[in-house]
Chains A and B, each alone.
Chain A
Amino acid sequence: MQEQLVDISRLQFAATAMYHFLFVPLTIGMTWILVIMESVYVMTGKTIYKDMTKFWGKLFGINFALGVTTGITMEFQFGTNWAYYSHYVGDIFGAPLAIEGLMAFFLESTFIGLFFFGWNKLPKAQHLLVTLLMAIGTNLSALWILIANGWMQNPVGSDFSYVTMRMEMTNFWDVIFNPVAQAKFVHTVSAGYVVGAMFVLSISAYYLLNNKHIEFAKRSFRIAAAFGLAAACSVIVLGDESGYTVGEAQETKLAAMEAIWHTEKAPAGLNLIASIDEKAQKNNWEVQIPYALGIIGTRSLSKEVKGITEIKERNRERIIAGIEAVKTLEQLRRNPSDKAMVARFETIKKDLGYGLLLRKYVTNMDEVTPAIIQKAVDSTIPAVTPMFWGFRAMVGLGFTFLLLFAASFYYTLRGKCAHEKWLLRAVLWSLPLPWVACEIGWFVAEYGRQPWTIYGVLPTHLSVSAISVENVYGSLAGFIGFYTLLLVVELYLMFKFARLGPTQYSEQH
């Protein structure tokens, strides 16, 4: 029963989070494109740039509405479905969420209203300031959410308290300047910029292919190509940085992502492609670039990249040590004033999370058998095949975007983009690809953290609310119903207004 509850709760969270992230990256990217377009308008006074800001702003608004709608779900869900998680880490995890509201979401949401309705009420420069503040708010919002997520990946600046039975913050700055969080933030917002740029580029290509709104489309195309090229470069460079911090903080994720079954002599080779046999825990064959992974993953020639087999053996030791930690904690809960016990617990509590992994199989730590320990050890590595190929698909897409934006930028600089039909078609049909890359990226990041919600601290299995599985089936069905309907409506409006194009603006003002 518990297992089913955990699975369905995970499914609901994954589905609603991935759905939410259909809208978020476009919002993040579009805000800056709007800032650029409006800046050109304010600097040159050419109304076509104002029309551009308004038209792309309208599509941005249609997208933003669903971003807000689906974002509230995420906030609710920690409490409704992950109550033990909320209790266990709310002391640290809740803070960036609350600060996100105070510092970022208020800013974004207040100024988005003025962005849409303030055109005739504000002087030009003030309206531009509004657009800029909206963009800053949006990006700061991403910062705080990724600080929260980064802490799940690499729980720094905190400590377990046996009195309150939870993790507590010990250093706020460590949480904020968590290297994993910072690398994730810049990589994720860059991915958003790629999405925004591709969106504008593709729809502009559509107009150029159909010989409509030529002047409007050419200018939009140029801005999107330049912005997209910069974004694609940064998403790749910062993705590499993100990969490096993962290697430092989460060896299991790196090993699974790269299908490294055994620790190799440094510097390790990079498996470009491989035939993975999960059962036998080996690759049948692999195409390797020598030294590459060692250099990318450790930034050195002498550090090893740990293999799955070796990581498992180390995890086995930690799980066995964790049994003691869990038992000691149980005794301490019954007798909190035992000073000797407290001292003992403090020395072994670093493995508490690993001991808790066993709770998936037994409640009483005295019933742990070697077979159960083996199960727990095996569970510490996420499935290698989806990690390996998912990661490769994301990286491959990243380089595809770089090529597309580079080609677009080259032809738009030469003033020829409208004639290169092959390029316009390629760009148009690539429209969905940045979303695919984002979703795969999140899959690698979150599935790759399993079996933990907080890496090394709290197993996913224990994080759920103590509610009946029927409740979760019911709410999941509700989400599927609502979200399907909303997606149909959103896509209908998006296509309608994208096809219609910017015609109405010149008439209107």
Chain B
Amino acid sequence: MLDYVTLKIIWWVLVGVLLIGFAIMDGHDMGVGTLLPFVGKGDTERRVVINTVAPHWDGNQVWFITAGGAVFAAWPLIYATAFSGFYWAMMAVLWSLFFRPVGFDYRSKIENKIWRQTWDWGLFVGGFIPPVIFGVAFGNLLQGVPFYFDENLLVHYTGSFWALLNPFALLAGLVSSAMITFHGAIYLMLRTEGDIHRRAKIAANIFGILALGLFAIAGIWVAKGIGGYAIVGNYDISALPNPLDKQVTHQTGAWMQNYSKMPITMAIPALAFISGIIAIFLAKIEKAGAAFVFSSLMMAGIIGTAGISMFPFLMPSSSNPNSSLMVWDSASSHLTLGIMFWAVVIFMPIIIIYTSWAYKVMSGKVTKNYIEDNKHSVY
């Protein structure tokens, strides 16, 4: 079996992979949901937009569910702390996700304008709100959140919901929303033609530039204005996880240390910028398929940047830094990490194979004729 420290690092990578997978897969249909009311004029056009993701949104959503389950299994303390601490933010994510399954499935089952328009806005909420909140959550993680553990390791969150909505966190929320919308717009370009395609192209240009611009501002803010966290003294990374067994301080510029210690890591933010620029350009010259690959890489870069800046921290505590959660002390037992690692190694390739097959079966442009011809059987 792999040793404990290696597995702890592997799981940091794997959770990142699951989050990136979520952004690429569920992200594009959330982006489509966000754009739905704006790029589709009239009922048939809206149905075209919805049907680009109709056969896939459900499978895509499982990336999110699996990422949640993986965090539960691999980092139980993160799961417990983040979900209970961000209580209302999590409820907002959950309740906005409610609109997706029913929105997709029920919308076109009744021919009534108000009914359908209501569900369209429901799908907008389900596509727009979750990425914003995930971004806000990351924005707060970067600043640290107020919580501590008591002697039984019960977590106590001492902040309020409104404190989560601080300027930097809101900026992070916008970065997240813009990149997802950019990605969704490129997907729509790929799968539609005519007016919708044209509007999606405009959206891709706007949100691509916005995503990169806001990401750059956030980067400068982190370097200059946000204090990071650092471990004081010697710390045994192979020890059994106990989050009260260390000393942590708040330090300005700490989030930049990994880049200076290991300059190769700068490739990750560079990947975000370069891929983003290439994706914007490819969308401009109508190469939507290739653009989709590069917008995916851009999101991998953006999410990876947040992860690397904070490494080994996952969820620093601003009010009680010693309670901060790290890769080393949030993890499950050696055995569980090992089993879950093999579960991912075995099943992830299978998932990717059948998901690709599903997209291949349903590939091609979704047209107005397709909707008119199948109006009782498609969404």
Interface residues of A (CB under 8 A from B): 54, 61-62, 64-66, 68-69, 71-73, 75-76, 78-81, 83-84, 86-87, 89-95, 97-103, 105-107, 109-114, 116-122, 133, 161, 163-166, 168-170, 172, 330, 333, 465-467, 471, 474-475, 478, 482, 486, 489-490, 493, 496-497, 504, 508
User: Assuming A69-B98, A109-B58, A169-B333, is B80 touching A90 (CB within 8 A)?
Assistant: yes
Residues from chain A with Cβ under 8 Å of B84 in the complex: 79-81, 83, 465-467
B156, B240, B362, B377: the one within 8 Å of A466 (CB): B156
Decide if A94 touches B76 in the complex (CB within 8 Å).
yes
B80, B335, B362: the one within 8 Å of A172 (CB): B335
Expressed in whole angstroms, the Cα–Cα distance for A98 and B154 within the complex equals 23
User: Assuming A65-B104, A90-B80, is B58 touching A170 (CB within 8 A)?
Assistant: no
User: Assuming A62-B106, A69-B101, A87-B80, is B59 touching A170 (CB within 8 A)?
Assistant: no
Expressed in whole angstroms, the Cα–Cα distance for A33 and B66 within the complex equals 28
Decide if A97 touches B73 in the complex (CB within 8 Å).
yes
A99, A475, A489: the one within 8 Å of B102 (CB): A489
Residues from chain B with Cβ under 8 Å of A75 in the complex: 65, 68-69, 72
13 A–B pairs (Cβ distance < 8 Å), ordered by A: A65-B105, A72-B94, A86-B83, A91-B332, A91-B333, A98-B66, A109-B62, A112-B59, A117-B377, A163-B240, A165-B242, A168-B335, A471-B87
Decide if A90 touches B69 in the complex (CB within 8 Å).
no
Expressed in whole angstroms, the Cα–Cα distance for A83 and B72 within the complex equals 11
The chain A residue with its CB closest to the CB of B92 is A478
Question: Nearest Cβ distance between residue B81 and chain A, in whole angstroms?
Answer: 7
Decide if B94 touches A95 in the complex (CB within 8 Å).
no
A95, A119, A467, A478: the one within 8 Å of B340 (CB): A95
B132-140, B170-178, B347-355: which one contacts chain A? B347-355
The chain A residue with its CB closest to the CB of B109 is A493
Residues from chain B with Cβ under 8 Å of A161 in the complex: 240, 333
A73, A90, A92, A496: the one within 8 Å of B79 (CB): A90
User: Assuming A90-B76, A118-B361, A169-B335, is B351 touching A102 (CB within 8 A)?
Assistant: yes
The chain A residue with its CB closest to the CB of B343 is A99
The chain A residue with its CB closest to the CB of B59 is A110
Further pairs besides A79-B83, A87-B155, A168-B333: 18, Cβ < 8 Å: A54-B377, A64-B101, A64-B105, A65-B106, A69-B98, A72-B94, A78-B79, A87-B76, A95-B73, A97-B72, A98-B66, A98-B340, A105-B62, A106-B62, A114-B55, A114-B361, A118-B362, A170-B335
Interface centre among B105, B157, B355 (most CB of A within 10 A): B105
Expressed in whole angstroms, the Cα–Cα distance for A172 and B105 within the complex equals 38
Residues from chain B with Cβ under 8 Å of A486 in the complex: 98, 102
B378 at the interface (CB under 8 A from A): yes
B186 at the interface (CB under 8 A from A): no
Decide if A116 touches B347 in the complex (CB within 8 Å).
no
Residues from chain B with Cβ under 8 Å of A475 in the complex: 87, 91
Expressed in whole angstroms, the Cα–Cα distance for A465 and B70 within the complex equals 20
Expressed in whole angstroms, the Cα–Cα distance for A251 and B80 within the complex equals 31
User: Assuming A80-B83, A86-B79, A486-B102, is B343 touching A98 (CB within 8 A)?
Assistant: yes
Residues from chain A with Cβ under 8 Å of B106 in the complex: 62, 65, 489, 493
Question: Chain A: interface secondary structure?
Answer: helix
Expressed in whole angstroms, the Cα–Cα distance for A493 and B185 within the complex equals 32
Expressed in whole angstroms, the Cα–Cα distance for A161 and B84 within the complex equals 23
User: Assuming A73-B94, A164-B240, A168-B333, is B72 touching A90 (CB within 8 A)?
Assistant: yes
Decide if A80 touches B361 in the complex (CB within 8 Å).
no
Residues from chain A with Cβ under 8 Å of B241 in the complex: 164
Expressed in whole angstroms, the Cα–Cα distance for A172 and B354 within the complex equals 27
Expressed in whole angstroms, the Cα–Cα distance for A91 and B78 within the complex equals 12
Expressed in whole angstroms, the Cα–Cα distance for A114 and B56 within the complex equals 8
User: Assuming A81-B84, A107-B354, is B62 touching A116 (CB within 8 A)?
Assistant: no
B212 at the interface (CB under 8 A from A): no
Decide if B101 touches A482 in the complex (CB within 8 Å).
no
Decide if A121 touches B362 in the complex (CB within 8 Å).
yes
Residues from chain A with Cβ under 8 Å of B358 in the complex: 110-111, 113-114
Question: Nearest Cβ distance between residue B191 and chain A, in whole angstroms?
Answer: 13
B153 at the interface (CB under 8 A from A): yes
Interface centre among A68, A172, A486 (most CB of B within 10 A): A68
Question: Nearest Cβ distance between residue A474 and chain B, in whole angstroms?
Answer: 8
B259 at the interface (CB under 8 A from A): no
Decide if B66 touches A497 in the complex (CB within 8 Å).
no
The chain A residue with its CB closest to the CB of B152 is A165
Question: Nearest Cβ distance between residue A128 and chain B, in whole angstroms?
Answer: 14
B339 at the interface (CB under 8 A from A): yes
B74 at the interface (CB under 8 A from A): yes
User: Assuming A65-B106, A66-B101, is B94 touching A90 (CB within 8 A)?
Assistant: no
B88 at the interface (CB under 8 A from A): yes
Decide if A80 touches B105 in the complex (CB within 8 Å).
no
Residues from chain B with Cβ under 8 Å of A81 in the complex: 84
Interface residues of B (CB under 8 A from A): 54-59, 61-62, 65-66, 68-70, 72-74, 76-77, 79-84, 87-88, 90-91, 93-95, 97-98, 100-102, 104-106, 109-110, 151-157, 240-242, 332-333, 335-336, 339-340, 343-344, 347-348, 351, 354-355, 358, 361-362, 374, 376-378
The chain B residue with its CB closest to the CB of A86 is B80
Expressed in whole angstroms, the Cα–Cα distance for A86 and B153 within the complex equals 11
Expressed in whole angstroms, the Cα–Cα distance for A150 and B87 within the complex equals 28
Question: Nearest Cβ distance between residue B319 and chain A, in whole angstroms?
Answer: 14
Interface centre among A75, A94, A508 (most CB of B within 10 A): A94
Expressed in whole angstroms, the Cα–Cα distance for A119 and B374 within the complex equals 11
The chain B residue with its CB closest to the CB of A172 is B339
Question: Nearest Cβ distance between residue A367 and chain B, in whole angstroms?
Answer: 17
A76, A87, A95, A97: the one within 8 Å of B90 (CB): A76
Decide if A102 touches B102 in the complex (CB within 8 Å).
no
User: Assuming A121-B362, A168-B336, is B80 touching A98 (CB within 8 A)?
Assistant: no
Question: Nearest Cβ distance between residue A69 and chain B, in whole angstroms?
Answer: 5
Decide if B362 touches A117 in the complex (CB within 8 Å).
yes
Residues from chain B with Cβ under 8 Å of A99 in the complex: 69, 340, 343, 347
The chain B residue with its CB closest to the CB of A89 is B76
Expressed in whole angstroms, the Cα–Cα distance for A91 and B377 within the complex equals 44
Residues from chain A with Cβ under 8 Å of B242 in the complex: 163-165
The chain B residue with its CB closest to the CB of A115 is B55
Question: Nearest Cβ distance between residue B114 and chain A, in whole angstroms?
Answer: 13
Expressed in whole angstroms, the Cα–Cα distance for A172 and B334 within the complex equals 12
Decide if B65 touches A504 in the complex (CB within 8 Å).
no
Question: Nearest Cβ distance between residue B377 and chain A, in whole angstroms?
Answer: 7
Expressed in whole angstroms, the Cα–Cα distance for A76 and B4 within the complex equals 28
Decide if A80 touches B59 in the complex (CB within 8 Å).
no
Expressed in whole angstroms, the Cα–Cα distance for A54 and B242 within the complex equals 54
Question: Nearest Cβ distance between residue B66 and chain A, in whole angstroms?
Answer: 3
Residues from chain B with Cβ under 8 Å of A508 in the complex: 376-377
Decide if B69 touches A101 in the complex (CB within 8 Å).
yes
The chain A residue with its CB closest to the CB of B83 is A79
Residues from chain A with Cβ under 8 Å of B347 in the complex: 99, 102-103, 106
The chain A residue with its CB closest to the CB of B344 is A102
A113, A489, A496: the one within 8 Å of B59 (CB): A113
Decide if B59 touches A169 in the complex (CB within 8 Å).
no
Decide if B377 touches A119 in the complex (CB within 8 Å).
yes
Residues from chain A with Cβ under 8 Å of B54 in the complex: 113, 116-117
Expressed in whole angstroms, the Cα–Cα distance for A84 and B152 within the complex equals 9
The 8 closest A-B pairs by CB, nearest first: A79-B83, A90-B76, A94-B73, A101-B66, A113-B55, A94-B72, A110-B59, A98-B69
The chain A residue with its CB closest to the CB of B347 is A102
The chain B residue with its CB closest to the CB of A79 is B83
Expressed in whole angstroms, the Cα–Cα distance for A66 and B340 within the complex equals 29
Expressed in whole angstroms, the Cα–Cα distance for A285 and B215 within the complex equals 75
The chain B residue with its CB closest to the CB of A507 is B376
Decide if A114 touches B344 in the complex (CB within 8 Å).
no
Expressed in whole angstroms, the Cα–Cα distance for A107 and B153 within the complex equals 37
Residues from chain B with Cβ under 8 Å of A497 in the complex: 109
